[in-house]
Structures are given as C-alpha cells and as structure tokens.
Amino acid sequence: MNLREPYSLNQLRDYSSLFSRSSVLEWMKGDFSSIYYKIERYDKRWFSNKKKCYLDYLKHVYGILEGHYQNEYILKNSFLNEWLITELGESDSKLFSEFRVGNAVADLTMFNGLSKVFEIKTELDSDKRLNTQLAYYRRVFNQIYLIIPISKIKLYDSYDSNIGIITFDNEGKQKFELYRKATTQSEVDSKTIMGILHTEEYKAIVQDCYGYLPKMTSFDQYNICKQLIEKIPRDELNNYFIQQMKKRGSLNSMSNRYYKEFNQLSLALKMNKQNRQLLIDRLKTPLNIE
C-alpha cells in the first residue's frame, strides 16, 4: 500500500467504500447519499458550484485511490483493465470474480481455451492460507497465477515453480509484469468439479460425454451423475468443465474504453450490458449541492 499526503488513511478508506457492492445497489435505487456524504465531508471545494454529475465525482475519487491507496478493488480493477481485458477479445471468454473452489475463493478466474485462476496478494496480505488455496486451485485450473507486489518476490518465488507470478509496483501505478509463466496442466479432480457445477451443468456434461441421460430423480441425480463423471478421463473432463463455465451467466459487460473505473464492480455484480448502462446513466445525473 502506498500512502502520500495530503490524504489521511481514514479519508482514503472512506473513499474506498464508494466502490463497493452496497454502494452500487443504493445508486441503482436512486439513493446517492453515500456520494453526498463524501462531498460534504471532504470535497466542497471540488464541487465549487460547477455543473458536475455523480460520475465526475466518482472518477475524481478513483483517481485519488489509484495514486494513494492500493486497496483490493483498485488492484483487481487495474489488473482487469491492464491485463485480462485484452484476452476478452475472444468472444467466448468468461471472467468471474470471487469464484468458490472448495473452501477457497479465487479473486479472479478466466475460462477460454484454458481455465486460469489469479490470486492477488497485497503488501498487507499474509501467505498463511496460500498453501490451502493452491491445493484447491490445482484440482480445477489449468494455470495458476499469483499477483504480488514486486517487493514480495522473494517470499512467493519459493512456492511451487509451476505457479505463474505477475508482479506490480505500487510506486508506478501498478504496471503489471510477467515474472514467471505458469505451467499448464489439464488433469482435473472430478470431486472438486462436482462441488462447483450446478445441476444443469453436470447433467449437460453427462449428456455430452455419454450421449444420453440415464433415468434419475431429483433425489438421486447428483450421485448418478457423479459416478458417471468420475469415469470420464481427467483431461476430457477438463474440456467439458471449461465448456460449461463459458456458458454460465451473461456475457461480461466490461469495457476497455469507457468507464473503466467500474469494470470490477460490473464483474462482481454480474451486470449485463443493460444493467451497466443503466448504472452509468444514473451516475450522469447532475449533482445538486446547496
């Protein structure tokens, strides 16, 4: 984390609360009290009776956070904008934020020709749970990447050499660089996969692999499909799993040109293009400060 004057740590933390799920859900309902509170407390001079909208203010706050307070949201959003979003050029690529795998929750995951997981560790994060997280990720993903501060390279370089490492430098506004490329593996664990798949997804895998669905009820369908999926060769199951993840949810609504400050929020809230545009339209409402 990089802190410089003239902003106090409390002020920066307060600013960062604007880029949260709860704030966005309030804005979608027309409640902008969180924005007015920040302006009243910190930024009356910024407003200075000029014609500005909520979006102008959020861009102003984001710029401050980007330069002075590298919290989790800023890191994730910067990585999306500077790295992952270029891979979304493939029309069937799919991104997920906070993707649960067993008892671990991955920061970011991507499914296209391969399955990739990205785990972010900031200056203040401990590596205490990392071995457990990696154990789960190895069962599911073809490639594993750690995103770490360049100052922590000695600590994380000692982990499994098959794991890729991407570094960032807080002093230079991120500037993510590939330190070590991940090794690709294609054998996945069927038990862990079953814990991720929705009912219609594991039934679709059985249908695609075997050409039919056996007789089953809502009470026994999980166990029947589980037994059949366990028999699928692991590298083939990997492909079926990726196919299902790419079909999950709506198309990613992020943009590498417009309103990049909100890409991570769009991803976390699983916004489609219509919902994202609705949010932007509401944020373009003029501010009314007395």
pLDDT tens-digit profile of 233-266? 999 999 999 999 999 876 667 777 789 999 999 9
- Give start-end residues of each CATH 3.40.1350 domain in the chain: 78-180
Task: Enter the CATH code of domain 78-180.
Answer: 3.40.1350
Tell me what pLDDT residue 171 has. Answer: 66
Report pLDDT for 165.
96
Per-10-residue mean pLDDT of the chain, 290 residues long, equals: 67 94 92 93 79 92 89 89 74 86 94 94 85 95 95 89 90 79 95 97 97 94 97 96 90 77 91 90 85
Q: What pLDDT sits at residue 70?
A: 77
* Amino acid 65: pLDDT: 92
- Supply the pTM of this predicted model: 0.88
Triad 181, 182, 187: Cα angle to 5° = 155
- pLDDT for 172-182, tens place per residue? 565 899 999 99
